[in-house]
Amino acid sequence: MRYVGKSFDKIDAQGILSGKPSYTEDFIPSNALYIKVIRSPHPFARVLDVDGTKAMKVPGVEAVFSYKDTPKKRFTMAGQSYPEPSAYDKYILEDIVRYVGDEVALVVATDRRTAERAALLVDIKYEVLPPVLDMHQAIDHPSVVHPEDDLHFNFPVGGDVKRNIACSYMNVKGDIEGELAKCDYVVEGHYFDQATQQTAMETFRSYCYIDTMGRLVCTSSTQIVFHLRRHIAEALGISPTKVRVKKPRIGGGFGSKQTACCEMMNAFVTWKLKKPSYIIYDRYSAAGCSTTRHARSWDIRIGATKDGIIKVVDMTGITDAGAYGTHAFTTTTAGEHKSVVLYNKAIATRYGSTMVYTNHEPGGAYRGYGATEALWPLECAVTKLAKKMGMDEMELRKKNLISAGERHIIYDEDEIMESGLFQEALQKVKDMSGWDKRPHGWRIDNRYRGGLGVSCALQGSGIAKIDTASVEIRLQENGTFTLYTGSSDMGTGANTILCQMASEVLGCPLENMGIIESDTDMVPFDPGSYASSTTYVTGTAAKMAAEELYEKIINRFAKEFNVTADEVEFDGENGLTKDGKHVLPLKTLATRLMARPDTEQMIGFASWGSESSPPPFMISVAEVKVDTYTGKVIPMNFYSVVDCGTVVNPKLARVQAEGGIVQGIGMALYEEVRYTKRGSQETNNLMTYKIPTRLDIGNLHVEFVESYEPSGAYGVKSIGEVVINTSCPAIQGAILNATGADVTDLPMIPERVYNAMNTK
């Protein structure tokens, strides 16, 4: 192939390096009003009154809005296809605040300094309520986080809000207790994975104005332009035809911008005042007033027979949904399909969690989306089982891994694993890391010990039977092409990938394929960039649209040459007959078509959604050095092999893998959202929330094995999320092999490792 499978620079690389791309803030005009959000200092309180009289006397203040002024229609901030599984439990502003940082009032002024000065003059009276700050005490707590009667679910998700249960899920297959009794080896454990921040470099921001047609236009740093349009229209009670959403360049998302944190407030102000306005979150607001990965507490049991076959996987837990149920149900259910299915010999499985409302920052979407949380206890328990059996932990996984052509017991009857070189990936990572050629735990000197640990992971590719993508490709009058997509390139290189896949069909030079993305007025529907969907779902639609356009171009050349279509060839720039008698440049044809009676704008269009969500696979070996005096863990090497189907762009795929691994290392060793006993967040800035630097990650080694996934274009699967899932359990296994310390809570900070070493 000419483009697919080849490394190309991102099509916007030069612009990024030169500082030319325009982000949301670059579009804000000088006359736009600044919106200052006044936030709650209490984790749980009733707002008795908001008085902006004194603030309104400050020159330059346009308005002060509170719960008295905003529409009383509940919505969800979660960017998901309708009907969303997430609870409709949010107002733009409400007379109850549910966490420190929840929105209380909006001060709108001509500039930021004026708005911030006026905000200090707004008088707010609170009735402080006893907060719910421990997810283990949330159910039937005397305080009900959501006492309102208009909270709405689109369909049953096991919620019981009067008991602080946001939703719940439990799936049982087989006889758990009976099969455990038959197992020769059983291990159990309690594991905790913490809330973590996505920490995109560009914080949340949006800018709204009213266009000449009287419509609300929202420019936002978002992953979900079409979902956001729907949410804004519903929250304001206006027709979606009155709303346009645009996304310029976005400075990272990692799932955080699959949630509409600031846009509803911004849209309300502009629609109310009919003036341009904007919101820009500072780092404190971005960290403490958005969403995090859900904190989860797990109890797990795994049973195996003496020949090393895992027969039972039993995982149950409790999840801190936070103040709102954003993504709570789906992150839990997604984790099941991306964890327990790794081991296909099981004949009894249980997986589930109760998601509870607390007075913490809401949980939301974060790269890995439930799989990261579920694979943490599962893979740690598999390593623990191997230790108990006296078996090599790589060999135990090899015996039990699902293979292509197999069906797991939790799958639907028609669902099988279509592709996957899992055993090949396992062997390759063994060779890369020298797994069979050196000890898995060793003494470096009197102070330091070294260790190796292993972990496997799955993810998905899009959301089966729900999300679809549409792509349009136009032949322009100058002989070039433009691809229109509703997906969002978040810095991943998605636009480059789509252009490669379309250019592969059309044969045109890559520079002749332009791309327009994420503008609800200009592009066809796409749910957005999440669920590892862009390359697999949108990419397949792009290939199909290119194929339709290619056929139209061939037919048009045949008409120009007065021959049949099967006598014509097209190389991306020229049409010619196979006998060589006729040659016509595409540019000439395109120009001709726009200036004659039989004008034709040639367009290829396709919509596609998958019946399945083929999982990419990853296996990693972590090598660490542990300071036995302090418990500090120092990453040395991280070896990974990824099966994401056909690798469209190896350079960009490797960068994706490395980025995900680094985020996983951060979750494993450094990052944690922490609260005081009074419910205030201690880690809402980059001084207290530690993300890894280049000096904290060791050396990364990434390779690929390429299976062929038959359901999508060119055999591709996803890579965006699976790459974050192995870091935590692989490092945990390495610590265990190095020191014997069985660390069960994340992050594995020095004091936890030290304590585990002394209680082993």
pLDDT in tens, 457-470: 999 999 999 989 99
- Higher confidence at residue 759 or residue 417? 417
User: Structure tokens of 443?
Assistant: 């003494």
Three-state SS for 19-46 is: CCCCEHHHHCCCCCEEEEEEECCCCCEE
For residue 372, give the DSSP letter.
Answer: H
Q: What are phi and psi of 237, to 5 degrees?
A: 70, 35
The pLDDT assigned to 191 comes to 98
What is the three-state SS of 533-597? CHHHHHHHHHHHHHHHHHHHHHHHHHHHHCCCHHHEEECCCEEEECCCCCEEEHHHHHHHHCCCC
Same domain, 457 and 471: no
pLDDT surpassing 80 at residue 596: no
* In a shared domain, residues 620 and 496: no
pLDDT of residue 17: 86
Whether 595 shows a pLDDT value over 90: the answer reads: no
Query: What CATH code is carried by the domain that includes residue 708?
Result: 3.30.365.10
**Is the domain of 115 the same as that of 245?**
yes
Query: H-type helices in 351-493, by residue range?
Result: 371-389, 393-400, 422-433
Between 432 and 759, residue with greater pLDDT: 432
- 502: Cβ contacts below 8 Å, ≥ 6 apart: 471, 473, 481, 483, 513, 542, 543, 545, 546
> Strand 574-577 to strand 583-585: parallel, antiparallel, or no bridges (unpaired)?
antiparallel
| pLDDT computed for residue 19 by the predictor | 84
Same structural domain, 120 and 221: yes
pLDDT attached to residue 308: 97
Predicted confidence band at 130 (pLDDT cuts at 50, 70, 90)? very high
Point out the domain boundary residue: 578, 609, 640: 609
The structure tokens listed for 471 are 């792509």
- Residue 568 in domain: yes
Residue 700 located in a structural domain: yes
Cα distances from 580 to residues 37, 266, 551, 584, in angstroms, run 69, 61, 20, 11
| pLDDT tens by residue, 313-334 | 999 999 999 999 999 999 999 9
Q: What is the Cα–Cα distance from 635 to 754, expressed in whole angstroms?
A: 16
Q: Are residues 233 and 121 in the same domain?
A: yes
What is the average per-residue pLDDT within 372-400? Answer: 98
**Tokens 């936070």 — which residue?**
322
Is the residue at 679 inside a domain? yes
Residue 746 and residue 604 in one domain: no
Residues 222, 90 share a domain? yes
Could you read off the pLDDT of 273-314 as tens digits, one per residue?
999 999 999 999 999 999 999 999 999 999 999 999 999 999
What is the rounded average pLDDT for all residues in the chain?
97
In a domain, 755, yes or no: yes
Pairing of strands 513-517, 481-485: parallel
CATH number at residue 121: 3.90.1170.50
Cα–Cα dist 622/585, whole Å: 54
- The H or E element spanning position 752 is helix 750-759
**Residue 731 resides in a domain:** yes
Shared domain for 121 and 254, answered yes or no, is yes
- At residue 601 the predicted structure's pLDDT band, cuts being 50, 70 and 90, is confident
The reported pLDDT for the residue numbered 531 is: 94
When mean pLDDT is compared across 274-278, 348-352, 409-413, the lowest value belongs to: 409-413
Residue 136, domain member (yes or no): no
Q: What is the DSSP letter of 81?
A: P
Query: Residues 646, 729: one domain?
Result: yes
State the pLDDT at residue 652. Answer: 97
In a domain, 187, yes or no: no
Q: Is the pTM of this model over 0.95?
A: yes
Percent of the chain with pLDDT over 70: 100
Of 581, 609, 637, the domain-final residue: 609
Q: What is the CA radius of gyration of the chain?
A: 27
Residue that is written with structure tokens 């590892």 in the block: 532
The answer to whether residues 61 and 204 belong to one domain is yes
Q: Name the domain count of the chain.
A: 3
> Which residues lie across from 187 on neighbouring strands?
302
**Residue partners of 511: CB distance under 8 A and separation at least 6:** none
- Strand-pair partners of 152: 88
pLDDT of residue 760: 66
Q: For strand 61-65 and strand 103-109, is the pairing parallel, antiparallel, or unpaired?
A: antiparallel
Distance CA 117, CA 650 (A): 51
Give me the residue label for tokens 């092409």.
481
Let me know whether 637 and 745 are in one domain: yes
Domain with 90, as residue range(s), is 18-129+198-288
pLDDT of residue 439: 98
> Where are the alpha helices (H) located in 193-327, listed in sequence order?
225-236, 263-273, 283-288
Instruction: Assess if residue 5 is contained within a domain.
Output: no
Question: Which of 609, 638, 673 is the endpoint of a domain?
Answer: 609
Would you place residue 21 in the very low, low, confident or very high pLDDT band (cuts 50, 70, 90)? confident
Q: Is the CA virtual torsion 422, 725, 84, 262 positive or negative? A: negative
Task: Indicate if 488 and 507 belong to the same structural domain.
Answer: yes
